Structure 1
Amino acid sequence: MSPWPVPGEPAVADIGGKRLAALTAAGLLTIANIVLSIFSLKHGIPEIYTYLYIVPVILVAYISPRAGVYFTIVLGWLYLGLVYLYGALDLRLLASSFAWFYIFVSLGVLISAYSNEIVKQRKYQEIFTGSQAAIFTFHLNTCRIHQFNARLAHILGYTDRNLEGEDIALIWNDPADLEGFLRQLGGDGMINDKEAVFRKADGSEVWVQVTASVTGEDIVILSAVDVTARKQISDKLRQTEIQYQLLFDQAGDPIIIHDYGNRILAANRIAVQLSGYPLGELTAMNFTDLDIERCTEWTRQCMREVEARGTLIFETIHHNHSGMEIPVEISSSRFEFMGKPAVISIVRDISERKKAEAAIREREQRFRMTGDLIPYGVWIADAAGEFTYCSDSFLSLLGMTLEECRGLAWMKRLPEADADRTRHDWEEVVRVGGFWDYEYRMTDRKGREHFILSRGSPFRDSSGLIVSYVGIHLDITDRRQYENRLEASLAEKEVIIKEVHHRVKNNMQVISGFLQLQSTFTDDPAASEMLAECQRRVRSMALVHEKLYQSRHLGFINVAEYIKSLVSELQESYVVQADITFKVDVESVNINLDIAIPCGLIINELLTNSLKYAFWERPSGTITIELRLSPDHQFHLRVCDDGKGLPENFDIASTSTLGMQLVQVLVRQLGGTIAIVSKAGTCFDITFPEKF
């Protein structure tokens, strides 16, 4: 069965026009029947027109079933009257007339009953199709849908689908809820205003309010009103109310709601707890009853201002149930409570703050007394960073009054290059609530420059709130002048130390030159080689001093730069037939002179040894130098080559070569250890501690 038209479309013809036409026709037919009956009775032919009385009976019954019954009775008596007046005194005619009378009445009742059913059906159809609610019928036992209106199809999105014959479980979202609904419906026969969730064609949910009743044939008529929007609003209101109640009861400060006449309407848990009054007693009081006597009128005046302005923050003094006075800060706002204008007042106990303010005032007095005894003295600023006190000596230096210092105007005494930076740093300290430790130059009223050390820290109350900043100004002009002289002296000493390192390096260069010159005057190759080795050793030490006077830190050199330079010079000074590749992997750390010279000599000896012996009769080779500083402050030096390796019986402790002996001495000088591995070449692993 297809759904009937949606409400608003013409489903039934104009009933008013049909009723008028039927009534007119019934009247005309009745008159015509009476005239024909009179005519027929006068002429002795009564049976011909008697059947025509049924037509007006049908029309009147169609208009109104109840009126059809009365009309039939009246029409029957009228026919009997006509027979009596115009008919002959014939028993057969009278019997026939009475028979027709009962026929009229019986037909009228039947027709009226049938018409009544038609009217009921028409009204049911109008209600079914025109209802704003979704209406459908289903069998209580089979749960199959029989009829449904277009509103149901529209709500559930089944506009293009016929729901007739479908199981109601198709649209009922919760099977357990459906089972309970059917069980209750079978027992009670009727369910009113039950909320349920229907499932739409696209799988989404829609909340409906259901009313259902069971007819005599186990047919259930169910109407459902879409209450999804109302449900959502109701849920949001309920959630908002729960959140409000939680916030209201869990707030850390007392909250009291009262009307404009100060009558308390509601109070939260902390208000009951701190006031000491039971909730019932508290809500029977006026808000001003919580004030001490001398503050009552002040609170009334503030409440009148709240009523006029909408919000106000003020301070007063309350008392609790035991009579103890409590200084409070009240933040009051106008709002609507249960549909009526009211005031919500948040009451904060400021007893500790008042004590802190009193203590601060006492301390400020002490600071003022102390500040007058300190050159440039003590300063105090409020939480916003504005000076509230400066010692007279500092004001005298500025040539300004305390009022003239407001708004950071005192910073105009700073040099132009420092003013913006100092202003920004002070504003940042105030923003984050940090400590102030600052040096700046300041010009006094006579134009003389002073160096000021300003130190201060935030002062907080018991709740951690910053209430002021307190600090001192110290004149450090003499100290800065001394530091400047000291820095100049240190600069001179640095120049002298660099000059010393430079001259030591030059002297070693001279020694290296003498050794090279001497080697030209000897014909002994062994002697020449020994002189060359001595020259390289001197050059490695000279390189340390060269790096030292070039370094920013006179006591340290960068070991990576030093070793790379040392390797580079060895490559240039040593002529080898093989193609040697150097791989240098050294961590960039600084070492002092006590490590640099022995380390450089060790590397010089080991590289020289590899270049002389490792690649004999080989076309190419690789030498690797690695240096690492471990977290336990141990240096790990590794010098390796992939040459032919050391002899099998080699023992560094018993070797007679000067180079290896020198390596052992230098390793001991560094406080380290040495290990040798001779597989596929030679590796010297040396470990020694970092020196500070």
Structure 2
Amino acid sequence: MKNIPSTQQDLKNKKTILLVEDEVIIAMAQAEFLSSNGYDVIQVYNGHDAMAIAVNDDSIDLILMDIDLGNGTDGTKVAEEILKKRDIPIVFLTAHAGRETVNRVKDITRYGYVVKNSGEFVLLSSIEMAFELFEAQRQTKEREIYLDVTLHSILDGVIATDEQGKILRMNRSAEQLTGWKLHGAYGRPLYDVFRVMDIKENQPDKDSEHHIINFDPQGEWRKKLILFSRSGEVFRIDKSSSPIRNENGDIRGRVIVFRDITSEYNSAKQLQDSEEKLQIIIDGVPAYIAFLDKEESYVYVNKSYAQWYGMDKDDFCGRKISDIVPPDYLERAYPYIKKALSGESVVYENYIFDKNGDRRILRVEYVPHISSGEIIGFFSMTIDITEQKSSEAQIVELLKEKELLLKEVHHRVKNNMGSIASLLYLQRDTLQDPAAIVAIQDARNRVISMMSIYEMLYRSEDYRSVPVFAYVSDLIDKISESYNPGGYIKVLKEIEDFKLDSSILFPSGIIINELLTNAFKYAFPKQASGTIHVKMIRKTARTVQISVKDNGVGLPDACEMFGKSCFGLSVVNMLVQQLKGKLSIVKNGGTEFKIDFMV
């Protein structure tokens, strides 16, 4: 018999079923049957598609799934994965009804299974029962959630027991006060968890220790008790208890409601204790603390403040600051006092002479005290920083000495390297071998490159960073004087003005020295004229580029791999690796060396 929806309400409530069946013909027949009985049907033939649609399509109301989906796919495993993603009724289809099938599905879903070919009525009934069971479970969950939220929203502690006095429910407040979580307290006798003592009788509360319904079964009773938490904390509580009755009026347990009144009970004592503790703390602070009202009269001072002026603490109350503080000190302090009384927190330094006539430097802080939008006074906290200032002065002197020493070191290194450069120059004039003369000149230029760094460091302020423009420009000029005295080769400089750490500029200078020297020596044979373009720029905030480009005869192929015969270029290659940079060579109407590295 076919049940086809005939009303608008039926169409509105039409359910959608996801049919998962690997046998296409069987799936088509089942889909046709379900459609004819008022269901929208979506067909899939494998677990992967079933998972994708079930998880992402909220219109699916129920899944009808074959247990055996072929190719070794287990429908129960697919169902488990789907149920991890969403709560939905799943009815299994199977060709077998043995115990093994029952065991496979019982732990996955409560909606059971249908044996294939068991009849249309059985299939429709199973689907309808699954919908009804799912809706009943949904409503039960909603009621449970509502009751749970309500129970946990109550600020008082709530404990519910059965008729035997064993705990069934607790809210969060009860958990916090007793120190027990519900999972640990469930099923325990009330007196195991709710350990209380009668304040008046100074003994355990007998009502909570005995069978709970033996006491006042007709109504509610209240008591003030001391509660001993599982963690060892002690609370003073106000407790009330009422019976829980069923529809016939029979008592099925009790509900105990209690609240923490410890703060109320002990408020006066706690206030007194806190004031005493605060007094001890303030008196123990190694600072001079005072509070003055907006009339600049003392309301409170700590022990240190009173001792500084050789007075008792009680002698300050009500007296003006001008009666206590020396006039010259007060004159320097008044601008800051006015700022504090206008609502501004201020910190400044002042000085005063102690009873021995020694000058003491003080760090003073004023903080306005505002109540109900009105400034009623200000707090004053003063710290003696005389020793700190003395130490700071010593540190400054030591730093100056260190700077002078470092400057002298740089100066001596520069002079020593200058001596080496001069010796190499003298040695060169004694040589006859052209190759030896060139080698000595190259070595001298390398020394000059490093010597220039120390010259710059000697003149710099921080003794670490060096201005690139000044150093590189000077280096280029010195190299040009050695290899281009006639000026037949034009040198173009493109050097940006920025600073680099000397540890980076050392290898950079040697690289420029080697590449520029190489260009002078080999790019223009027989004193041919030409141009060399030297560039050192910041490409980005973290990237620097060095470029030496000539329009000469080009780099010999033998030097491209930086072999032993090209010592200078081998040095360049090693220094580029030291800078963790990248070297590229372009040969197009001359030779260009580009080095990019991070800083």
TM-score (norm 2): 0.46
Q: Which has the larger radius of gyration?
A: 1
Greater fraction of residues in helix: 1
